[in-house]
Structure 1
Amino acid sequence: MNEKPTFILAGNGPYENRGCEAIVRGTVKILKYYYKDPSFLCVSFFQNQEQFEKQSREEFDPAIVHKKANKRQSKFDPNWLLRLPFRGIYPELYKSWMYKEMIPHIKNSTSVLSIGGDNYSLDYGIPKKFIYLDDVVLESKKPLIIWGASVGPFEKIPKYEKYMKEHLQSITGIFARESATINYLDKIGITDNVYEVADPAFLMDATEPQPNKKIEIEENSIGINLSPLMVRYFSNGDMGSWINTATKIVEDISNQTNNRIYLIPHVTTSHSNDYLFLKKVRENAKISKENIILLPPTYNASETKWIISKMKLFAGSRTHSTIAALSSYVPTLSFAYSIKAKGINRDIFGHEDYCLSPEDLTPETVTKKIELMLDRRKKIISELKTSIPRIKDKALLAGETLMNITG
């Protein structure tokens, strides 16, 4: 067992994205299992200084220290115009500025894990800042792992796909969290540095909320997570239309199943806030508000997982909300807008029957699928109890693989 190593966990978002927190908690659990007294430097992207300070202040694991990566905070940042030519003309200096709080620590680290789940994709545009992260670490001659992630596809931009193929081949290890990523990387000729694992969030413990945040969950309830992010893939970006559809989905599920509904936010950042979206859905719903409970945005990732674990069935759009449910043996319908949800479902069930693509997100289709899953509930739970221990073992074995390839 390696003693007192330091790992840099870089490229993540803030804990207000519970998925980002879940990745950290699961990763720390994995590495503490294989290494003696490890410490962790989390270098993440924050929206502002206040968010960073709040996360640092509320961190409960003494082994974790938070640092921030730099980025243009908003178009109102008075210095961002000055940095645009700086970024274009002096990319090396721009990389150094972006990761200046991390760079002094790379030399004494055991390895750098690029975490975040789906950073290396086109889901949020060209992943330039993560390529910069890779460059900074590789130039320092330290092991760099794309950790527990989905990668690609990049085929929508053929020239960029060619560039990414070359770039990804330079990475020490790509720890792929689902088979769809492995299949895609194999298709473009990347195999030698690819390792099959599972998302570290499968290993995050569920924690009952503290007394000041205590919540009673009614038995046989259905949990639903719907996000504003889905508008990118629905109704040509018309948010009003997406809110109306989401509202009708919730109404129909409540009417057809006669179960209490818990609306569960999983990301509550200022630019993508499930809570505010679900609040509008609840306000617009033409059913008794007693039958729709909106969770406040005060629960952390492990507390949210505990709440989700109490559900009879869960339907979610945020990938890590569905991982929280699946890893708790809760039958789960995934609203899948990218390969990651389909790949994860395929690895667990051997099929994608419990996924719905954006084009299938109609109230009638969603409600029928949920009714079908409720009828199959015992069978699905049995399948999960068979598959999830295997998935958790794959997540945990990422630590052993890391030791083997980094020494």
Structure 2
Amino acid sequence: MNERPMFILAGNGPYENRGCEAIVRGTVKILRNHYKDPSFLCLSHFQNHEQFEKQIIKEYDSEVIHRETNRNKKMFSPEWACQFIQRKFSEKKYMRSVYKELFPAINEAEAVLSVGGDNYSLDYGIPRAFTGLDDLVLENKKPMIIWGASVGPFDRVPEYEKYMKKHLQRVNGIFVRESATIEYLEKIGVKDNIYKTADPAFLMDPQEPQPKIKIEEESIGINLSPLMAKYVGDKSLESWINIAAGVLEEVIKRTENKLYLIPHVTIPISNDYLFLKQVKEKIKDSEERTVLIPPIYNASETKWIISKMKVFAGARTHSTIAALSSNVPTLSFGYSVKAKGINKDIFGHDNYCMNPEKLSSKTVADKIENILKESDEIRSHLKISIPKIKNKALLAGQGLQKITE
């Protein structure tokens, strides 16, 4: 091992997705706990170069250096899925172009960690960009780690699932953040390289915003995303805006708490802030009972805001992790297995998860009312279970040390 080890954190999105930033902050904390004075190269996907430049300016950790990939968005399209399965061709040349910034640094790297949470799934299309990254790293004989992730399922495309089984068996370690993924991987025969851990974001420290922001006590935090439109009503964004407004009006009607609308992802193609702004405009008396948090806070500051809530309800997985890791009773709008897996690991059940397809103003208000009534009991449970989850995340560093020794 190098005297000052360097790790490449690859495959992430921009910090405008605060979950992506939270993963980096938590990972850095884990590795600093297990390695002496490590440094970090983040090789991430950005929508444009301006977004990349903005991230460099806002980075406050001097040991975290950023580089951008040369990604072609077509690699995520459904057409590519068909072509991949039918042709099964090698695309090393193309992938070498995408990850060209990898090669000047890979010889010095202790390991490459593929970060990003749920990249190895079909949620955003065939994950060619990430399996291609794995292949390049393994070809260069460096430890390739899928880090703090949910993986799969791939059973919607049986031929691809067979490919992914073989592929996943080749990487050096799959550090899995929740039990639902472990169950799936074991079912398809991926067992020997699995490490049970928790999402690194559980370890990110909250940071009070500067200048300070006042949060009313006993408030309810709400995160809703435009992405949920795919699962609600007639699947249109306009329909989802109207449903979301109805949900918030019902919560206002049934409770006396102030509502804070908290964006967690503000990238151009999926902006929670713009969505919540449209929703707020449709709510009667919205100025008196609702506060829309501006999209100016980083992941740690957003976590601080969320930590002040009496109850939180969130669509973005890492917004709910920010709440749960702060011992805030949380309702998760889970459109994939990861939310249920995380909740089962914390509570032993998924009673505080809601499938968006069952979402209505009544069902959400009922759930929030029940969580408010049980909030003291839930908070007491979190105070016992969350330290165990955080410790599990921290111990991922021990598993990584075994691989990099």
TM-score, normalised by the number of residues in structure 2: 0.95
Q: Residue 261 of structure 1 aligns with which residue?
A: 259
- Map of 2:284 onto structure 1: 286
Deviation at 1:73, TM superposition (A): 6.1
What letter corresponds to residue 176 of structure 2 in structure 1?
A: A
For 2:106, the equivalent position in structure 1 comes to 106
For the 8 Å contact 2:223–2:264, the answer to whether it is kept is yes
Distance 1:29 1:21, change over 3 A: same
Q: Give the distance between the partners of 1:331 and 1:219, measured in 2 at CA.
A: 14
Is 2:308 the counterpart of 1:310?
yes
CA–CA distance in 2 between the matches of 1:89 and 1:359? 38
State the secondary structure of the residue aligned to 1:101: helix
Give the 3-state SS of the residue equivalent to 2:42 in structure 1: strand
* Matched ranges for 1:185-264 at <5 A: 185-211=185-211, 214-264=212-262
Secondary structure of 2:68's partner? strand
C-alpha contact (below 8 Å) 1:2/1:34 kept by paired residues: no
Runs of 4+ that moved beyond 6 A: 87-90
Determine the C-alpha separation between the residues in 2 that align with 1:221 and 1:61. Answer: 32
Which residue is equivalent to 2:82? none
Matches within 5 A, 1:8-407: 8-72=8-72, 91-211=91-211, 214-407=212-405
Deviations 1:1-38 (A, max 9, x none): 97310000000000000000000000000000111110
The answer to whether the 8 A contact 2:12-2:45 is kept is yes
3-state secondary structure, aligned to 2:56: helix
Deviation at 1:180, TM superposition (A): 0.2
Instruction: Measure the CA separation in 2 of the matches of 1:228 and 1:170.
Output: 36
Q: Report the CA distance between 1:210 and its aligned residue.
A: 1.1
Cα displacement (A) at 1:117: 0.1
Q: 1:6 matched to which residue of 2?
A: 6
CA offsets per residue over residues 247-274 of structure 1, 9 Å max, x none?
Answer: 1111111110111000000000000000
Residues 226-262 of structure 1: CA deviation (Å, up to 9, x unaligned): 0000112222421111111111111111110111000
- Encode CA deviations 1:146-192: one digit per residue, 9 max, x unaligned: 00000000011111101100000001000000000000001101110
Compute the displacement of 1:95 (Å): 0.7
Q: Which moved more, 1:301-310 or 1:246-255?
A: 246-255
How many angstroms apart in 2 are the aligned matches of 1:291 and 1:401?
47
Residue 311 of structure 1 aligns to a residue in which SS? coil
User: What amino acid sits opposite 1:109 in the alignment?
Assistant: A
Kept after mapping to 1: 8 A contact 2:2/2:110: no
| Structure 1 stretches lacking a partner, 5+ long | 76-86
The number of residues matched between the two structures is 394
- Once structures 1 and 2 are overlaid, which stretch shifts more, 87-96 or 111-120? 87-96
Q: CA deviation at 1:289?
A: 1.4
Give the CA deviation at 1:89. 7.8
| Distance of 1:152 and 1:389 partners within structure 2 | 27
Amino acid at match of 2:351: D
The structural deviation recorded for 1:203 is 0.1
1:90 positional shift: 7.1
CA 1:175/1:89 → structure 2, altered by over 3 Å: closer, same or farther? closer
Quote the offset at 1:92 in angstroms.
1.6
Unaligned runs of at least 5 residues, structure 2:
76-86
Distance in 2, Cα, partners of 1:195 & 1:154: 20
Contact persistence 1:2–1:35 (CA under 8 A)? no
Tell me, in whole angstroms, the C-alpha distance in 1 between the residues paired with 2:231 and 2:60.
37
CA offsets 1:103-154 (integer angstroms, 9 cap, x no match): 2211110000000000000010110100111011010000011000000000
Alignment check: 8 A CA contact 2:280 2:286 kept: no
Deviations along 1:67-113, whole A, 9 cap, x unmatched? Answer: 011113699xxxxxxxxxxx998722101100001122111100000
Give the aligned CA root-mean-square deviation in angstroms: 1.5
SS in 2 for 1:328: coil
Question: Structure 2: which amino acid aligns with 1:231?
Answer: A
User: One-letter code of the match for 2:122?
Assistant: L
Offset, 1:197: 0.1
- Which amino acid in structure 2 is aligned with residue 330 of structure 1? V
Identical columns (%): 65
Q: Deviations over 1:360-388 (max 9, x none)?
A: 21110000011011111110001101100
Q: What secondary structure sits across from 2:192 in the alignment?
A: coil
Distance 2:104 2:256 in 1: 57
Match of 1:79 in 2: none
Distance 1:73 1:166, change over 3 A: closer
Assess, with a 3 A threshold, how the Cα gap between structure 1 residues 2 and 326 changes in structure 2: closer, same or farther.
Answer: farther
SS at match of 2:11: strand
**Secondary structure in structure 2 of the residue aligned to 1:174:** strand
- Which amino acid is 1:284 matched to? K
The CA deviation at 1:406 is 2.1
In 2, the alpha carbon distance for the partners of 1:160 and 1:73 equals 20
Q: Which moved more, 1:250-259 or 1:17-26?
A: 250-259
Contact kept, 8 Å, 1:20 with 1:116, in 2: the verdict is yes
SS at match of 2:365: helix
